[in-house]
Every structure is written in structure tokens, then in C-alpha cells.
């Protein structure tokens, strides 16, 4: 599975590089705004749901660590196997939203560079 993801990532990187060269700045700007909007629209609600579910699960299991909000990924091993999918699904959606926001920022910078 890791090799497949590596190949897909390389192909996306190459395709994205070609798109950066061929697309006009206005199109890059439009795509960047779409990526930012979708990423924030997906990532922020998913992040809220993830933190609420993690808190509720850990509260039911025992005392809540004081730094829950700072390093929540360190607490993933404390999630029971049967609850892991329910708690970590929004975590993955939030991570995907974060990646879209980063992509949108990169495309916005590329659009501004092309305009100069």
C-alpha cells in the first residue's frame, strides 16, 4: 500500500508541476480559493468532531490528561479498538482538510508569483 501511495504522490506532484506551468494566474488563483474553502469547510468541522469524540471517549475511560488539546495524537493508543474507527475517522478528514488548505496556500503563492 505504501508503494502505491508513493507512486500516486509522485504522479500528482508531476501533474501539479505541469499544471502550474500551463495554467494562467487567474485560474491558479481560482483553484487556490476553492482548495482553501473546501479545506477549511472540511477540516474545521471534522477537527471539532474529532476533539469532542476523543474527549468523550477518554472521559469515559478515566481521568482526562491535562494537555489533551496540545498533543491529542499521543492519546490515540489509549482508544479502545472498537472505538478507534469512530474517533479517528474525523481525525483523518481533518487531516485531509489541512492538506487542502496547504495546497490552496501554495497555489495562491504560485498565482502571485506568476502575476509578477
Q: In Å, how far are 25, 49, 51, 53, 105 from 113, measured between CA atoms? A: 8, 37, 37, 42, 12
- Residue boundaries of the structural domains of the chain: 24-115
Buried/exposed code over 52-72 (b: 16+ C-beta within 10 A; e: otherwise): ebbbebbeeeeeeeeeeeeeb
User: What digits encode the pLDDT tens for the residues 16-58?
Assistant: 788 788 889 999 999 999 999 999 999 999 999 999 999 999 8
Share of the chain above pLDDT 90, in %: 49
pLDDT at 14 over 80: yes
What is residue 51's predicted lDDT score, i.e. its pLDDT?
92
Amino acid at each position: 500500500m505504501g508503494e502505491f501511495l508513493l507512486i500516486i504522490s509522485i504522479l500528482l506532484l508531476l501533474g501539479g508541476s505541469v499544471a502550474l506551468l500551463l495554467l494562467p494566474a487567474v485560474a491558479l488563483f481560482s483553484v487556490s480559493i476553492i482548495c482553501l474553502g473546501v479545506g477549511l469547510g472540511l477540516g474545521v468541522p471534522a477537527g471539532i468532531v474529532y476533539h469532542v469524540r476523543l474527549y468523550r471517549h477518554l472521559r469515559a475511560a478515566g481521568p482526562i490528561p491535562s494537555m489533551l488539546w496540545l498533543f491529542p495524537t499521543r492519546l490515540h493508543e489509549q482508544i479502545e479498538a472498537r472505538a478507534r474507527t469512530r474517533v479517528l475517522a474525523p481525525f483523518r478528514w481533518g487531516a485531509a482538510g489541512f492538506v487542502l488548505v496547504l495546497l490552496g496556500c501554495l497555489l495562491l503563492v504560485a498565482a502571485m508569483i506568476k502575476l509578477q
